[in-house]
Chain A
Amino acid sequence: GAVVSQHPSRVICKSGTSVKIECRSLDFQATTMFWYRQFPKQSLMLMATSNEGSKATYEQGVEKDKFLINHASLTLSTLTVTSAHPEDSSFYICSAINRENGYTFGSGTRLTVV
Chain B
Amino acid sequence: AQSVAQPEDQVNVAEGNPLTVKCTYSVSGNPYLFWYVQYPNRGLQFLLKYITGDNLVKGSYGFEAEFNKSQTSFHLKKPSALVSDSALYFCAVRDLNSGYSTLTFGKGTMLLVSP
Interface residues of A (CB under 8 A from B): 4, 6, 9, 32, 34, 41-44, 46, 49, 91, 93, 95, 97, 101-108, 110
Contacts and interface: CB of A to CB of B under 8 A. Distances in A.
Contact of A106 (B32, B43, B49): B43
Interface stretch (B18-26, B68-76, B104-112): B104-112
A107 B94 CA distance: 22
A43 B108 CA distance: 6
Contacts of A97: 101
Contact of A93 (B32, B44, B94, B107): B44
Given A42-B108, A102-B46, A110-B41, 11 more contacts: A32-B101, A44-B105, A46-B102, A102-B32, A102-B34, A102-B49, A103-B34, A104-B46, A105-B43, A106-B43, A108-B41
Interface of B: 32, 34, 36, 41-46, 49, 90, 94, 101-108, 110
A4 B108 CA distance: 22
B49 A107 contact: no
A42 B44 contact: no
A101 B106 contact: no
Which applies to chain A's interface (DSSP): helix, strand, loop or mixed? strand
Nearest to A49: B102
Contacts of A110: 41
Contacts of B44: 44, 93, 95, 105
A105 B41 contact: no
A103 B90 contact: no
